[in-house]
Amino acid sequence: MHDLRREEWEEGAVAAVAFALALAASTVRPEFALPLLVGGAFVASRAVLAGWRRWDLFDRLLVEPDAYAIPEVRARGEQEADMANRRSLSRVIRRQLERGDYPRIAASADELAALAEELLDPRLVLDPASAVACSRLLTDGVTSPLFNAELPAEDVRSRLVQIRAGFHARDEVPRKI
């Protein structure tokens, strides 16, 4: 993660210098302006690629409990597990249950309603990886078996069990998933 961030910043700095030189060259030595501009655009695209690779890696690490040893991943997971986000996820569940747009949500209504209650319970702590899994289950139309009919329907129950296993009482030692 650190290396990708450094690469992103370095490539971005080189691209900025190339663009500045292209601008300066357009008045002093116009024949150098276009090559510098093209070079700057190429290096800028490499910076964007490094940023995308970093984001993709970070996104994949968020659902891996062992990755929470990385401070950045832990901070983001803890943000997902805080009470403000949990209240928001509970509202999403209640709204989806009221609307009844998706058959898989209706089929899992009791478990989802129980999850909504657990999310609101301040006596419970939610494991960060479980909070990320919950967020993705409720908001990601591509990877969520609640919304994507191409995924197996039985995945809904297994994800709900996984998420609910991430709760523990405030004074209790968290369970390993």
Of the chain, the percentage scoring pLDDT greater than 70 comes to 96
Task: Compute the distance between CA of residue 104 and CA of residue 80 in angstroms, rounded to an integer.
Answer: 24
Q: What is the pLDDT of residue 3?
A: 79
> Is 157:108 a contact under the CB 8 Å cutoff?
yes
Task: Compute the distance between CA of residue 148 and CA of residue 105 in angstroms, rounded to an integer.
Answer: 11
Closest to 65 in 3D by CA, of 124, 10, 150, 130: 130
Q: How far apart are the first and last CA of the chain?
A: 24
Task: Compute the distance between CA of residue 32 and CA of residue 66 in angstroms, rounded to an integer.
Answer: 50
Helix (H, G, I), strand (E, B) or coil at 25: helix
> pLDDT by residue (tens digit) across 33-79?
999 999 999 999 999 998 888 888 888 888 888 888 888 889 988 99
Taking phi first (over 0 means left), then psi (-120 to 50 degrees means alpha), and beta for anything else, what does residue 126 get?
Answer: beta
Task: Compute the distance between CA of residue 119 and CA of residue 117 in angstroms, rounded to an integer.
Answer: 5
Buried b (16+ CB within 10 A) or exposed e, 109-129: eeebeebbebbeeeebbbbbb
Q: What does pTM read for this prediction?
A: 0.71
> Facing residues of 126 across strands?
167
> pLDDT by residue (tens digit) across 134-166?
999 999 888 899 998 899 988 999 999 999 999
Tokens of 140: 């990601």
Mean pLDDT of the chain: 89
List phi, psi (to 5°) of 169.
Answer: -65, 150
